[in-house]
Amino acid sequence: MADYRISPNEIVDTVEKVLKDYEKDVVGKAVKKETKKAMKELVRVTKATAPVGRRKKHYKENIKSKKYLDKDSATGLSYGEVWYVDGSDYRLTHLLEHGHQLRNGKRSRAFKFVEKACNEVEKNYIKSLTEAIENGK
């Protein structure tokens, strides 16, 4: 019978390596998959709820998302996407979300369509991400 002796330091290093590999493989894939799905949903919801004014080109047609971070790191944030409004309409986002001063001295209505959509999508994102990590998918 062979005598295998492993020092406690080697056990700690081995377990740490296995956990990092698991995090990189399972958690990284789950974060990427669920983030993409949540961002598509956020774009869909904000396009559906964005206010439409009297302009010829609609603001909601320019709502988009794109990937801004994609690393293969085992620690920290490894994947991210950003929601944005393309073209010159990006300036309207703050005004529509928070309202603004009108020429007659009154204040315009704040639509809060981005905030509502983010809150709705965030709940589902956290739930689905937790499930994906727990199930190892």
pTM over 0.85: no
Question: Is 42 within 8 Å of 81 (Cβ atoms)?
Answer: no
| Per-residue model confidence (pLDDT) at position 49 | 92
Question: Is 63 within 8 Å of 46 (Cβ atoms)?
Answer: yes
pLDDT in tens, 38-87: 999 999 999 999 988 887 778 889 999 999 887 765 455 678 899 999 98
Gap between the Cα atoms of 52 and 110, Å rounded: 13
Gap between the Cα atoms of 46 and 84, Å rounded: 11
How many C-beta neighbours within 10 Å does residue 23 have? Answer: 15
> What pairs with residue 85 in β-bridges?
63
* C-alpha distance from residue 3 to each of 6, 8, 15 (Å): 10, 16, 21
**What does the domain layout of the chain look like in residue ranges?**
9-135
